[in-house]
Amino acid sequence: MIVIAFSVRHYLKGHEMERHLDIELKSIKEDLLKMAGLVEQAIDRSIKAIKNRDEDRAQKVIDQDREIDAMEIQIENDCFTILARYQPVAADLRFIMASIKINNDLERMGDHAVNIAQKAQSLAAAPSLKPLIDIPLMADIVQGMLRDSLNSFVNGDVEQARLVCEKDDDVDALEVQVHRELLTYMMEDHRNISRALQLTMIAKNLERIADLSTNICEEVIFMVEGRTIKHHSEDLHLKSDKE
């Protein structure tokens, strides 16, 4: 038996090439992060608009959504062109696939922020129903999830991505609680129904933003490990324990 000794790293050092594709992929990543910044701002503004009953701030969210929509189209076109021109494979291909999906997720989040802003406007025009406690709490968790999911994308951090997915249960639980509480208001006095419904829908929008953040994390795990975990998040612990 002949033993072949060689150093892979040593051989590769001189051979690794800077590719034009890398520049294109980097620009996709930068655009996605720029878009994510706009989405984070929109969500933040829409939450503040509810808390402060601020119609102007809500209007800003609605106006700025066009910018997010335009970025979605641009990023999608760029990904499409890269697929056609470079036919990327392996990690490059997984990055493009994940980017296309994250792009979509971010745009949906922008729409949810607009929904929240619209509710904020109609709520601001009516007297306050109750002091808001659970919805701002939900918003804090959701904004944290979005931030962490974006960080996990930037750093390819699978561990962080998994942690975000776990937080989704807290948001779901809070949404149920908000829903239950608002039902009592509605039963108490039918004049409350309209405002209570608006608040329920705001909670629903926040819950959807949390879901979309976990989608981003699932795509990060796919991008890094090449494994699909969505729709099986209950197996998450088992799988990560085995490895």
In the complex, the residues that contact another protein under the rule CB under 8 A are: 1-6, 8, 11-12, 15-17, 19, 21, 87-94, 226
Evaluate whether 35 touches 71 at the Cβ level (below 8 Å): yes
* Shortest CB 90 distance to another protein, Å: 5
* Shortest CB 81 distance to another protein, Å: 17
Nearer CB in complex with another protein: 181/225: 225
Nearer CB in complex with another protein: 48/94: 94
* Shortest CB 231 distance to another protein, Å: 19
Nearer CB in complex with another protein: 18/56: 18
Nearer CB in complex with another protein: 5/125: 5
* Shortest CB 37 distance to another protein, Å: 29
